Amino acid sequence: MKEILLPRVRTSRWLAVGWQGLSILMALLFTTLVLLLTGAPPLEAYRQVLEGAFGSLKRATDILVAWVPLMLVTSGLLLTFTAGLWNIGVEGQIVLGAIATTGVVRALQHTDLPPPIILVLALLAGMAGGAAWAGLVGLLKVYGGVHEIFGGLGLNFVATTLILWLIFGPWKRPGIGSMSGTEPFPERLMFPTLPGLRLSPWALGMALLSVALVYVLLRNTYFGLRLKAIGKNLRAAHLLGVPTTRYLFLALLGCGAMAGLAGSIQVTAVYHRLIPPISSGYGYLGLLVAMLANYRVTWSVPVAFFFAALNIGSIQLPITLKLDSTLSGVMQGALVLFVLLMQGVRARWQAKTTVESDDGA
């Protein structure tokens, strides 16, 4: 077996754009076929999604409401992806953040503490909750040899059960527990939103801050460099003296804290109570965002926005076209799948053309 030499790729920006365009086109074609299979009018469905996302100022700001937790989760995931970890457990980390925050608010809401202090404590608790859940994944991996995909997934299901148990058990509404969630928080313990909208500038600020933090961490610090070394080759990094175990835990804890913060924000700034689907699947979606952005911080910002827009745009589909709102998930998944496939096709095509032109020379 000959050693595989990487082809000398003459990258052209326009060619790259062309390949990406082709992937998007194929994903659209796939989604259109899926829509035709259900007998729904594809063009009308796409129009409804666009209308649902950008039809009014309120809807457009709703995209940002969804973008905030998605971006927080994706920022965290960029840390774990850089360290070479598949942190699927991120979904459960969001849930635990939401649970910890709700716990603190419930414990302190009848005390005399000033609301801002309670809110800050609640957010910190959320970050700690998410980090603790991520730490468990790390413990299982490092000291138990359980791959983070299985540890994380198992803990996701446990987190979902925990939230149901709390809502129908100890934290149930006076009277009877229901899927509508816990008793809403008092108004002074809700993050203020822009007048008439659901968007909280505080939440937006925290998301922007976390993106900036991860960007600087990965680009300009020794920490980021070591994390990349671990992601590229764990053994080599270890032999070179990088304390790999500590760095793996730091990446997981950082991701868990950001996911936990996302959960906190869903509770304090969006729903003002704990509801069963509090994570809205943003954890799994964050994984797709990071993959589609090719694990780059700068690209993940617009990709997360686009995915958030698809989510918001699909909310009305069950009412307007009697379609399930998981259409957004189908589009997002198809997009990532075809980008992955086209990356492979492109690499093969380039390798072939390079070899041919070398032969000719």
Q: Which residues bind another protein (CB under 8 A)?
A: 1-2, 4, 34, 37-38, 86, 88, 140, 143-147, 149-151, 153-155, 157-158, 160-161, 164-165, 168-169, 284, 287-288, 291, 323-324, 326-327, 329-330, 333-334, 336-337, 340-341, 343-345, 347-348
Give the nearest distance from C-beta 42 to another protein in angstroms.
Answer: 13
Q: Which lies closer to another protein via its Cβ, residue 46 or residue 223?
A: 46
- The residue among 76, 48, 67 whose CA lies nearest residue 270 is 67
Helix (H), strand (E), coil (C) string for the chain: CCCCCCCCCCCCHHHHHHHHHHHHHHHHHHHHHHHHHHCCCHHHHHHHHHHHHHCCHHHHHHHHHHHHHHHHHHHHHHHHHHCCCCCCCHHHHHHHHHHHHHHHHHHHCCCCCCHHHHHHHHHHHHHHHHHHHHHHHHHHHHHHCCCHHHHHHHHHHHHHHHHHHHHHCCCCCCCCCCCCCCCCCCHHHCCCCCCCCCCCHHHHHHHHHHHHHHHHHHHHCHHHHHHHHHHHCHHHHHHCCCCHHHHHHHHHHHHHHHHHHHHHHHHHHHHCCCCCCCCCCHHHHHHHHHHHCCCCHHHHHHHHHHHHHHHHHHCCHHHHCCCCCCHHHHHHHHHHHHHHHHHHHHHHHHHHHHHHHHHHC
Give the nearest distance from C-beta 123 to another protein in angstroms.
Answer: 27
Give the nearest distance from C-beta 290 to another protein in angstroms.
Answer: 10
Q: Which lies closer to another protein via its Cβ, residue 154 or residue 224?
A: 154
Give the nearest distance from C-beta 7 to another protein in angstroms.
Answer: 12
Give the nearest distance from C-beta 206 to another protein in angstroms.
Answer: 26
Q: Which lies closer to another protein via its Cβ, residue 50 or residue 165?
A: 165
Q: Which lies closer to another protein via its Cβ, residue 179 or residue 209?
A: 179
Give the nearest distance from C-beta 121 to another protein in angstroms.
Answer: 28
Q: Which lies closer to another protein via its Cβ, residue 155 or residue 257?
A: 155
Q: Which lies closer to another protein via its Cβ, residue 83 or residue 291?
A: 291
Give the nearest distance from C-beta 225 to another protein in angstroms.
Answer: 23
Q: Which lies closer to another protein via its Cβ, residue 56 or residue 294?
A: 294
Give the nearest distance from C-beta 360 to another protein in angstroms.
Answer: 21
Q: Which lies closer to another protein via its Cβ, residue 241 or residue 344?
A: 344
